[in-house]
Chain A
Amino acid sequence: MSLIDEVTREFSRLPGIGPRTARRLVHHLLRSSPEEGRRLARALDSLVDRIRPCRICGNHTEEETCAVCLDPKRDRSTVCVVESAFEVESVERTGQFQGLYHVLGGRLSPLDGVGPEDLRIEELLRRARDGDGEVREAILATNPSVEGEATAVYLETILRAEGVRVTRLARGIPVGSDLEYVDGSTLAQALAGRREM
């Protein structure tokens, strides 16, 4: 395999990048100044070298502990449980959440051989137990997929046993969307979860 083919293949393994886009990226890099390619290579190199999971919550960080966990202004009694660090970013962007996070690193999926021992669940329990009752509420923010829901059910069972209040993100109609275009099952769930006005 030629070097060009090899790099093209590496690009096309990335999510959202098909073989055509991958080829375009490679040819773009070859056309640009050598410095552009080197800068990308260096950035990727340090990304994989320096980013690691936070020792407390599992979020991405360059230090031992992430900025959220270190921030004294955050509310330590509430922990938002997410599947991956990607979702930490999403929740942070809302600017509406002042608590801490816990990143599971995946979700239960027996078909793929993923059980509780493969996720950072033991760490979550330890946070609930060892914090001297500091963690009072766990907000389960796993995805609304079948696997995300089952993970939430499982976490609810074991967290409640620790005396933690367990809540789940509400489901419903996306803000700014038109009812006409909302799919049936989403609408059905939004109806079931309707609120008194």
Chain B
Amino acid sequence: MRLAQLVLRSFRNLVDDALEFPPEGVAVVGPNAQGKSNLLEAIYYLEVLRSFRGAPDRDLVRFGGDVFRLQGRVVTAENDAPFQGGRPERTVAAAWQRSGGRKKVTLDDVETERLGDGVGHVCAVLFTPADLALVDDGPHVRRRYLDIVLSLSEPGYMAALQRYRQVLSQRNAALKAGGHSPQTHAWEPLLVDAGSRVTVFRSRWIDTMAASFSRIHEEISGGTGARMTLDSGIPGLPEGQLELEGVSEALEVALREARDRDVRLGTTTVGPHRDELLLLLAPGEGAQDVRRFGSGGQRRSVALGLRLLEAETIRRRRGREPLLLMDDVFAELDEARSMRLLDLLHRTAVGQVILTAPRKAEIRFRQEGIERWGIRDGRILR
């Protein structure tokens, strides 16, 4: 999958433009604060329909403007699965208007019924130096990682997750208002239904991808593998491959047994909202939590590994070669790790790459093979 064209209107500091991207990609080189990350933010916005930096939409409109609009034309590569109806290309556009606060998303000029229908059409994976937080921060960032990867690859995941969240906030409100009562317990079957689906989606993905995760880490670190497991927020889950029925039963029992505590605390203490994606160094016995025991280099490798795993998921589940967006990622890696990562990318990432670097010397990937663009005050120089 590749981005053929990006049309920018009033986005951040970027000058309005229609950029035509070469099939193999481009390296955008320029000093800091010129708009390099804004360009990647714009492209990735079309994948997830929000800012990867967590910025609210109103902050994305150019200063003094009312509307921003982004339009991308994506084209499938030779071995990619075609779009619906066998079409080889698709145009995704997103616009947000400050007055009214409305977001409009169109696919081939037709407005999507729900925003969720508009995500995942670019097949992009974004690497940034901030990815280290995937390892260093609390369990919620790894749940969000799972949520994004699964929403983009598993039909039905996002709907189950949204339903789970809605029921969860209703049950929590009921616990505070009603204590022990049939009207509080009435939310449990719904929580079991949505929560067990979310859990099974997550555990299946982790099971399927665990071997790739270990292999990727082995290659970047040049030695040990790594392990990824689900530490479920549902106590008493059966061992091994999780099936919907077993998970439903376990969640039902767990919710019933937690009732006293939940009423006392006024919140639901069991369920997938308490999941943790455990990342362990060295497979097998004595594996250690990367977050607590990993060195700086190890934590960075694992974080990169999670992004590469995201790319692998797109290849497998969507049948398309992902578009890689790399925001100055080599700056933070030591020499040996950079070399091994480059080697891995050379072998596995055969699609389009759009990367940024502050100086020419820091373009580490595809130095020879891709065009170079400059950037100054938000204007792309090509």
Which B residues are in CB contact (< 8 Å) with A146? 163, 166-167, 170, 190
Answer whether A153 and B190 are a contact pair too, CB < 8 Å, given A146-B167, A158-B182, A184-B155: yes
| CB nearest to B117 among chain A residues | A183
Q: Mark B283-298, 1 if CB is under 8 A from A, else 0.
A: 0000000000000000
| Chain A min CB distance to B186 (Å) | 4
| CB nearest to B178 among chain A residues | A115
Q: Mark B156-193, 1 if CB is under 8 A from A, else 0.
A: 10011001001101110110111000110111011000
How many residue pairs between the two chains, A and B, have CB atoms under 8 Å in the bound complex?
A: 52
| Chain A min CB distance to B237 (Å) | 22
Contact A108 B156 (CB under 8 A): no
Contact A153 B159 (CB under 8 A): no
Which B residues are in CB contact (< 8 Å) with A157? 182, 185-186
For residue A147, CB closer than 8 A to chain B, the reply is yes
Contact A153 B166 (CB under 8 A): no
Which residues from 142 to 162 on chain A have a C-beta closer than 8 Å to any C-beta of chain B? 146-147, 149-151, 153-154, 157-158
Question: Mind listing 24 A-B residue pairs with CB under 8 Å?
Answer: A108-B183, A110-B174, A110-B176, A110-B177, A111-B169, A111-B170, A111-B173, A115-B178, A116-B183, A146-B166, A146-B167, A146-B170, A150-B170, A153-B186, A153-B187, A154-B186, A157-B182, A157-B185, A157-B186, A158-B182, A184-B159, A185-B159, A185-B160, A188-B156
Answer whether A150 and B156 are a contact pair too, CB < 8 Å, given A110-B174, A111-B173, A115-B177: no
For residue A113, CB closer than 8 A to chain B, the reply is yes
Which residues from 57 to 77 on chain A have a C-beta closer than 8 Å to any C-beta of chain B? none
| Chain A min CB distance to B172 (Å) | 8
| Chain A min CB distance to B217 (Å) | 34
A188 to B178, CA, bound (A): 33
Contact B189 A153 (CB under 8 A): yes
Contact A150 B190 (CB under 8 A): yes
Contact A109 B170 (CB under 8 A): yes
A154's partner among B159, B160, B183 (CB-CB below 8 A) is B183
A185 to B171, CA, bound (A): 22
Which residues from 83 to 136 on chain A have a C-beta closer than 8 Å to any C-beta of chain B? 108-111, 113, 115-116
Besides A109-B170, A185-B156, 14 other CB < 8 A contacts?
A110-B173, A110-B178, A110-B183, A113-B177, A146-B163, A146-B166, A147-B170, A150-B167, A150-B187, A153-B190, A154-B183, A157-B185, A185-B159, A188-B156
Which B residues are in CB contact (< 8 Å) with A188? 156
Contact B173 A150 (CB under 8 A): no
| CB nearest to A185 among chain B residues | B159
Which B residues are in CB contact (< 8 Å) with A158? 182
